[in-house]
Structure 1
Amino acid sequence: MSSNSVSAPNKNYLLPLAMICVLFFIFGFVTWANSTWIQFFQLSFSLSDTQAYLVATASYIAYFFLAIPSSYILKKTGFKNGLVVGLFVLALGSLVFIPAATSQSYSIFLLGIFIQGSALALLQTAANPYLAIIGPIESAAQRISIAGICNKFAGILVPIVMGGIFLKNAKEIETSIGQSEGAAKQALIADLLGRVVTPSVVLAVLFSLLAVVFMLVKLPQVEEDDETPEADNQATNKTSIWQFPHLFLGAFCIFVYVAAEVMAADTIAGYGKQIGLDADASKYLASVTLGCMLVGYLVGIVAIPRFFSQQKALKVCAILGIVFSAVALVTSGFTSVLFIALLGLANSLMWPAIFPLGIQGLGKFTKIGSAIMIMGIVGGAIWPLFFGLLRDSGVNIQLSYFIAVLPCYLYILYFAMAGHKVGLGK
């Protein structure tokens, strides 16, 4: 690759950065809607914790199955066309919620969520490496942090907007459904599920319009040979993706990070109810978690790499995760819930640091390496189920939380200190 072809994307990435930030807002809105869906489906279908957390499974399992196929789709379609396809699939997933609501089928809702997760797998497989590549790798975490602010801002809005629509008068409705039987109960459930139809149509239209915008806007295309700056010769003599052990350690780090992040955001409402907070207040707790993440992203934009490196940020965040989860275990009531929310701060700079550390030095293997990293998001599908099984088996909710998240932060600390250097000769 010539030096001119490198400098072009590095100097002129404001427009693509802005467009990707819009996409990250969409990612956040769709992904963090899971926290509201979990409560909403528990209310509508009287689900156990394990059954309700299938929402997270349906959403995140798609990344495992679709990440590598997505990399091949992007090779065929190119970056921009891949984004257009992903947005239309996202709209399709939203429309599936309509027959799910009218037929009162939890399974069809899960199908719609899986379709949306599949779209996000394609979109994120393109968007994350694009952010890392369009500028200097040393400041990749800064650019991902900027996009992450859009993601987490959407996440803050989701419980407020969707909670206000779908969980309005939740405590009263829960009591009414519990006291009703037969046709009266079905009528209450039908009325509750009917709240889904109009928002689903609106979202499908918005996603489709955004796809059209991406079709019309010119974005610089990063070709396969342009994925690593000329000075980066890590991959010159490599013949296989298996020759990069740090990539697979990074993918597992994404696995445990997403597991911890989903635990802190998607299950905090149920945690608050179990601890004793009011149900109508608990539905907004995910916004507090994501607000803490937003604060962390702002710190990342200012401080990385000016004051500390991506590796140091990851190390500090992992230590905070260990401390906050321990304090949540040994305290009670609102204080315990607060430290679960503060895990959002601990989680904030993990993705921006882990992703560029995992794909560093891959050269021509960057696309497939990025897809492998994206596969790690499946942690969000598996870990809530593990937590739900602990809860349904009778383990105390605070101890269940500690058992679920502590190993995640311990591994992240290892990757920050040593794992990201394995095989790179650093």
Structure 2
Amino acid sequence: MKKNTEKYNVESLTSRQTILSIGIIGMMFFIFGFVSWVNAILIPFFRIGCELSNFQSYLVTFSFYISYFVMSVPSAWILKTTGFKKGMMIGFWIMAAGAFLFIPAAMFRTYEIFLAGLFTLGTGLAILQTAANPYITILGPRERAAQRISIMGICNKGAGILAPLAFAAAILRPTDSALFEAIPHMDTVSRSEALDELVARVILPYAVVGVILFLIGLFIRYSPLPEIDTEHESDELSKANAGKHSIFQFPHLVLGALAIFLHVGTQVIAIDTIIGYASSMGLNLIEAKTFPSYTLTASIVGYLAGIFLIPKFIKQTRMLQFCTLAGTLFTLLILFASGPTFLLNHHVDISIWFVVCLGFPNALIWAGIWPLALDGLGRYTKQGAGLLIMGLCGNALLPLLYGAMADITDARQAYWVLLPCYLYLVFYAHKGYKIRTWTLATKTDQINESV
């Protein structure tokens, strides 16, 4: 049992341990992606099955991701108390409990219980994300952190491509297009029976998911994943942080948490709203369900670019700067570009393809922020990761803002919410990450731009 509790310094890990650890964490990121991105199909599914408005349907993402805000600080405390591996096991078991809540929710077609299940799933993920992101960030040379995170991103978004398609295959039928058209015209009793049958289809998939998550928790606890020591600092780092007593004394971290908040909001909007945007162009759910996969495919292309280009051809900071500017440009094209297209067998306005294109820069924005925000934290790494994970509540709030704007205006004009987000990300990529004191910075306060 000793090898499961012994702590290692990153420098002491063998090449075999590092590669094996990357593989196990990659498997975890695949699970993160599968559970998270299935929300893209849950939103329109619940909108039909539970008869919701746009705003109400986006409570799916709110309930799922607001748990990151609630649980980020407790997650850091759990990991500090239990260590990475036991904390990860706890996270998977909490996720399993959330999946099992879908069973009574579907039996009674009660949206509030579905939301409770999503919140519980998000709570487990908050613990796992607080562990996995700093783990992979420090698991090797700092200048290659974005490259390692890109590998994790492929696992995450690869699962994201499969999740909506697999979930749709499990719960949707070829005849559902006619059913969806007929439901509004049914009498009360017939409509209720049809919706009960529709929503009950989620019971078996989530029961299976719950069992799998519980077993994975056991596997992680007794896996050869090394327990990395983040509590001890080098003499140089200890001296630099001697006067620090709180994570809020690291401006680049706090500003990075805000960057994460805005970035993840833009990311989930690009994926979870695209089915609704496609529907506004006349596509039914059966056809529109493929669009999240297109956006996630663009993300995978971005991650592959990061793996190939960073740091051999471009520094990870420069890539972050490029991607924030690209996100700003694509947002403007979503809002102002117009014209019919026929691509991948879809007749849609060209603007929707710029929503798809957001997947590319979004992939490397996440990968770029983490190493910059965690740089130099030393013994504060876990607490810093908790603060960054708190930023994931942007996934909860910004889609709600999009949904409210879509109800007031339309699905396209609601994308205005993306523009200020990307403008801040441009600021952080160029200036914000350099700020190391809340007072006027001097040259000695700036980090080495060789990152």
Q: Deviations over 1:250-306 (max 9, x none)?
A: 000000000100100001000111123333211111000000001100111111111
Look up the SS of the partner of 1:46 in the other structure. Answer: coil
Counterpart of 2:318 (choices 299, 312, 321) is 312
Q: Give the counterpart of 2:11 among 3, 7, 21.
A: 7
Equivalent residue for 2:125?
120
1:150 has 2:164 as partner: no
Counterpart of 1:223 in structure 2 is: 229
* CA distances 1:305-326 after superposition (whole Å, capped 9, x unpaired): 1111221111111111111111
Whether the aligned pair in 1 keeps the contact of 2:276 and 2:411 (CA below 8 Å) is no
Write out aligned runs for 1:159-170 (5 A): 159-168=164-173, 169-170=175-176
Deviations 1:321-363 (A, max 9, x none): 1111111112334311111111111211011111111111111
Q: Output the amino acid matched with 2:314.
A: F
Amino acid at match of 1:173: L
SS in structure 1 of the partner of residue 330 of structure 2 = helix
Task: Work out whether residues 255 and 433 of structure 2, in 8 Å CA contact, stay in contact via their aligned partners in 1.
Answer: yes
- Residue 355 (structure 1) aligns with: 370
2:251 aligns with 245
Q: CA deviation at 1:177?
A: 1.4
State the match for 1:29 in structure 2: 34
Residue 295 of structure 1 is matched in structure 2 by: 301
Match of 1:419 in 2: 432
Alignment of 1:50-61 (within 5 A): 50-61=55-66
CA contact (8 A) 2:32 2:156 kept: yes
- Whichever residue aligns with residue 415 of structure 1, its letter is Y
AA aligned opposite 1:330: F
The residue type equivalent to 1:266 in the other structure is: D
1:404 paired with 2:412, answer no
Separation of aligned partners in 1, 2:282 and 2:325:
28
Structure 1 counterpart of 2:440 = none
After TM superposition, give the deviation of residue 229 of structure 1 in Å: 6.1
Counterpart residue type for residue 425 of structure 1: Q
Take 1:304 and 1:284, find their aligned partners in 2: how far apart are those partners? 30
Aligned residue runs from structure 1 range 85-96, under 5 A: 85-96=90-101
Structure 1: runs of 5+ lacking an equivalent: none
Distance verdict in 2 for CA 1:10–1:412, change over 3 Å: farther
Q: Report the number of matched residues.
A: 420
Give the aligned partner of residue 271 of structure 1: 277
Whether the aligned pair in 2 keeps the contact of 1:66 and 1:121 (CA below 8 Å) is yes
Runs of 4 or more off by more than 4 Å in structure 1? Answer: 228-234
TM-score, normalised on structure 2? 0.90
What is the alpha-carbon distance in structure 2 between the residues aligned to residue 138 and residue 236 of structure 1?
A: 25
* Letter paired with 2:446: G
SS in 1 for 2:140: coil
Corresponding residue SS for 1:397: coil
Match of 2:218, as an amino acid?
V
Which residue number corresponds to residue 386 of structure 2?
Answer: 371
State the Cα distance separating 1:176 from its structure 2 match.
2.2
Residues 1:28 and 1:192: Cα distance change in structure 2 (over 3 Å): same
Alignment match of 2:406 (pick from 385, 391, 395):
391
Determine the structure 2 residue equivalent to 1:343. 358
- The answer to whether the 8 A contact 2:10-2:229 is kept is no
Tell me the CA shift for residue 42 of structure 1.
0.7
DSSP-derived class of the 2:101 partner: helix
Show the counterpart of 1:330: 336
The two structures, once aligned, show a CA RMSD in angstroms of 1.6
- In structure 2, the partner of 1:193 is 199
1:283 equivalenced with 2:289 (yes/no):
yes
Q: In 2, distance between residues paired with 1:230 and 1:59?
A: 41
Q: 2:52 aligns with which of 34, 37, 47?
A: 47
> Which residue identity lines up with residue 292 of structure 1 in the other structure?
A
Q: Greater helix percent: which structure?
A: 1
Match of 1:67 in 2: 72
**What percent identity do the matched residue pairs reach?**
40
For 1:191, what is the secondary structure of its paired residue? Answer: helix
Alignment TM-score, normalising by the size of structure 1: 0.95
Check 1:232–1:275 CA distance in 2 against 1; reply closer, same or farther (3 A cut).
farther
1:58 Cα deviation (Å)? 0.4
CA contact (8 A) 2:58 2:403 kept: yes
Corresponding residue SS for 1:42: helix
1:172 deviation in Å? 1.8
